Structure 1
Amino acid sequence: MNVSGLVVRVNPERFAQVLEVLEAAPWAEVYTHDGESKLVVVIEAEDTAAEMAVYRTIEGVEGVLSVELAYSYSEELENARDELEVQDGVPEVLSDEVPADRVRYGGDVRTLLKEHLEKLQD
């Protein structure tokens, strides 16, 4: 479950209509507003993709000028953090104890840039 707090900026001439739409929406809760052009909206969604769909829906409401993410909690992220905390120690590849001759690097930024520029010229 993801929960996010949004600041929704609205054209003052359309404020009442936008407020009505958002208050009626099952996917949003208008937490507070200034009565003129700004609303604080809380949304919940099962995952990040669903959360972004709600975000875009709010952006598409006639009269909405902008939607800004003010806070976000992601259960997916918390689960990943919990999983990392359970792991024992640091993986060997990240250890400072690994001798430099065992570290493999397979790239060269200059070569990559040169190849990219050549592709653009073709």
Structure 2
Amino acid sequence: MQMILFKMNQQCYLISADMVEEVIDTIHMTPVPLAPRWVEGLINLRGTVMTVINLAELIQIPRPAFHRNILIMKQEEEKKGLLIEEVIEVLNIQPEDLQLKEDTEADYYSGIVSFPDKVANVIDVNHLIFE
């Protein structure tokens, strides 16, 4: 399965490429008054206005110093942006490489994948951003 490897605050994360329509550079966002903390703002992407969600705020980790990319997430006809620090690469991960999570309170972690030089948390946030 193809997964997108990205980093946030020196930590690596993986997200299924099936959920991601495209990766774009960060663009100007319009703030949304009275929105939850994890809503970063709205963007206009080729004529489509969509909400951008700050992943760090959503999963309650410290905000990175900068955000280089937005993952355009899709579920059926709905799209939302997911603000991240930086995409590293797209990888083919074998199902046997995925170590499933132990029971944790964080329902967005689905497991980890170990690499020779790093460990990446596998996250699934679609159910959180498309509620």
TM range (shorter): under 0.3
Q: TM-score normalised to the size of structure 2?
A: 0.21
Q: TM-score normalised to the size of structure 1?
A: 0.22
- Structure showing greater Rg: 1
Report the structure, 1 or 2, having the larger strand content.
Answer: 2
Report the structure, 1 or 2, having the larger helix content.
Answer: 1
